[in-house]
Structure 1
Amino acid sequence: MGKFVLTNVRLFTGGADLTGASNKVELTTKIEEKETTNYSSNGYKELLGGLASTEIQGEGQWEAADPSKVDDASWTQLGGVGAWSMGPNGAAVGGLAYLTKALRCDYKLGDAVGEVAPWTSSGKGSWPLARGQFAHPPGTARTASGTGTGLNLGAVALGKRMYAALHVLSVAGTTPSLTGRVESSVDNTFASPTTRLTFTAANTVSGEILRTDGTAITDTWWRVAWTITGTSPSFLFASTLGIW
């Protein structure tokens, strides 16, 4: 990816797609500096890396009266920890994505008379920030069980984890249910895929993030798959995968 102008940043928190109500999104990750300077440091500071932290900040135009809107989502999530995904340049399959489990810790709305009603909010990471790719796009409706596109994300080394977020953005039908899962394979054929993670069955707008247990996984290809049941079900959802 070369240089580009920010015109299509995607932000998902839980089951809300805040893209259409956002005009600024910032992602910060940093490591604490712990000084270890001593008399053998030859006059230079010596530092060790301490605790890592992540923060996602967003702001834009206020909307309400639907679970997918920023006001409803912010009030529901405030004080809770959930799935956050951000794409700096769209949410197409294979597009760059950052994902984490974050605490929705603040929410601000309102301004002077005559101004477009604004909002600002942030999430502070409760898990590491993983860098990966979008595995399912938000604008493709699914009405039956299926599998997504395979992504060559690489093997998971011992002590590392595969992180996966699922954002269920809309639900329709009679008794609809969506159960997402993450599969891996030795190659892009997925002839004998292995299920690595399974999300909780969803029947409402919602979000969830999962991770593997830290054991090594030699498979290098990954995808999301889903099982859909119900009468005339239809789901819009986005999914991201990343290793950390």
Structure 2
Amino acid sequence: MGKFVLLDARLFAPGADLSGASNKIELSSEIEDKETTNYRSGGWKEVIGGLGSAEISAEGQWEAGDPSKVDDSSWANLGGQGPYTVCPTDSVVGALAYITSGMRADYNVGDAVGEVAPWTGTVKSSWPLVRGQIAHPPGTARTATGLGTALQLGAIPAGKRLYAALHVLSVAGTTPSITARIETDDNAGFTTPSTLLTFGAATAPGGQILRGDGTAVADSYFRVAWTISGTTPSFMFAVSLGIR
């Protein structure tokens, strides 16, 4: 990816796509430095990495009225934990995505008379910030059980984990339910798939985030699969994956 102008960044809160209400999205990550200087340091300060942290800050135009709007989503998640996915360019399958589980730490609204009603908010990470890809795009409605596109993320070394975030953005139908899972295989055709992670059944907009247990996984291909039930069900959802 070369240099580009920010035109279509995406922000997914637990169960809402806030991209259309955002005009600024910033993502930061840092590792705390801990000094280990001693008499054998050769006259130079020595440091090692301590605790890591990440933060997502965003702002844009205020809207309210249903769970997909920024005000409804912000109030519902303020002080709570959930998955967040940020994409710098787009949210098509394979697009670059940054993933974390974090706490919605603050939410601010309002400005002077005559101004477009604004909002600002911040998310503080509770899990590592993970660099990954979009495995399922938000703009494709799913009405039946199906399989996503294979992504080659590479094998998972021992001590590393697969992180997966599910954002259920809209739900329709009578008693609709979707259960998504992350499958792996050693080939793009998924001739012998194995299930690595399984999300809980979802019947309403919301978000979930899962991670592996640190066991090595030799498979290098990953995809999302889903089982849908109900009468005339329809789901819009986004899934992001990454290894760290």
Shorter-chain TM range is: over 0.9
Compute the displacement of 1:39 (Å): 3.1
Report the equivalent of 1:188. 188
Compute the displacement of 1:43 (Å): 2.7
Residue aligned with 2:84, SS: strand
Instruction: Kindly provide the amino acid, as one letter, of the partner of residue 52 in structure 2.
Output: A
Report the equivalent of 2:163. 163
Residue aligned with 2:138, SS: coil
Q: For residues 69 and 214 of structure 1, what CA distance do their matches in structure 2 show? A: 36
Report the equivalent of 2:80. 80
Report runs of 4+ in structure 1 exceeding 3 Å deviation.
none
Residue aligned with 2:68, SS: coil
Report the equivalent of 1:122. 122
Instruction: Kindly provide the amino acid, as one letter, of the partner of residue 141 in structure 1.
Output: A
Residue aligned with 2:90, SS: coil
Q: CA RMSD in A?
A: 0.7
Compute the displacement of 1:97 (Å): 0.5
Q: Within 5 Å, give how 1:28-177 maps onto structure 2.
A: 28-177=28-177
Identify unmatched segments of 5+ residues in structure 1.
none
Q: Deviations over 1:119-170 (max 9, x none)?
A: 1111111011111100000000101000000000011111110000000001
Report the equivalent of 1:212. 212
Q: For residues 136 and 104 of structure 2, what CA distance do their matches in structure 1 show? A: 24
Compute the displacement of 1:68 (Å): 0.7
Identify unmatched segments of 5+ residues in structure 2.
none
Compute the displacement of 1:40 (Å): 2.8
Amino-acid identity (%): 64
Instruction: Kindly provide the amino acid, as one letter, of the partner of residue 3 in structure 1.
Output: K
Q: For residues 2 and 92 of structure 1, what CA distance do their matches in structure 2 show? A: 18
TM-score (norm 1): 0.99
Q: For residues 59 and 46 of structure 1, what CA distance do their matches in structure 2 show? A: 38
Aligned residues: 244
Instruction: Kindly provide the amino acid, as one letter, of the partner of residue 193 in structure 2.
Output: P
Q: For residues 154 and 17 of structure 2, what CA distance do their matches in structure 1 show? A: 28
Q: For residues 70 and 100 of structure 1, what CA distance do their matches in structure 2 show? A: 19
Residue aligned with 1:76, SS: helix
